[in-house]
Amino acid sequence: MQWKRVVALGATLGLVASGCGGSKPLSRAEFVKRANAVCLREYKAQVAVLKASLATGAHRLAAGVAGARLEALQRRELQALEALRPPDELQATFARWRGMWRAGLGQHVPPVADMTAAQHAQLRATAMRREALKHSLGLTC
């Protein structure tokens, strides 16, 4: 009876492994289509959070709550995108874009009004590099 469990467990692990990372990359068109769908879905969720926070009167408190919710949504978006397997020619660019995005998650960014000119310039430069990578992947969201 025990050997049947081992065989069943081995078969299950084999199926899981073959479905994760073992699958072939998506075509460029399919990758772009799926990634843009993920981005659009999460963008709509983020806009809803921002609208809800603006509807409350306590902007500072609402901004803190909204910030935490937005970060959770961004993490969910990144996870969904990481589940996609880009075509070989996009994998290096995708990895750099993901890395920049992941590095920015969880970092405290002061409100724009409280930023120094240098902080603002650095934030803008990082955002522009990330956008350039995103567009080189063919993503429009």
What angle do the packed helices 117-136 and 91-104 form, to 10 degrees? Answer: 150
User: What does the domain layout of the chain look like in residue ranges?
Assistant: 25-136
Residues 46-64: tens digit of each pLDDT: 888 878 777 766 555 556 6
**b vs e for 23-36, b when ≥16 Cβ sit within 10 Å of the residue's Cβ?**
eeebeeeebbebbe
- Of 81, 102, 5, the C-alpha closest to 38 is 81
What angle do the packed helices 91-104 and 59-82 form, to 10 degrees? Answer: 150
d(CA 25, CA 28): 9
The set of residues, in sequence order, having a beta carbon less than 8 Å from that of 7 and lying 6+ positions away, is none
What angle (nearest 5°) sits at the alpha carbon of residue 116, between those of residues 78 and 114?
Answer: 75
pTM attached to this predicted model = 0.71
Residues 56-109: tens digit of each pLDDT: 665 555 566 677 788 888 899 999 999 999 999 999 999 999 998 888 887 766
d(CA 78, CA 74): 6
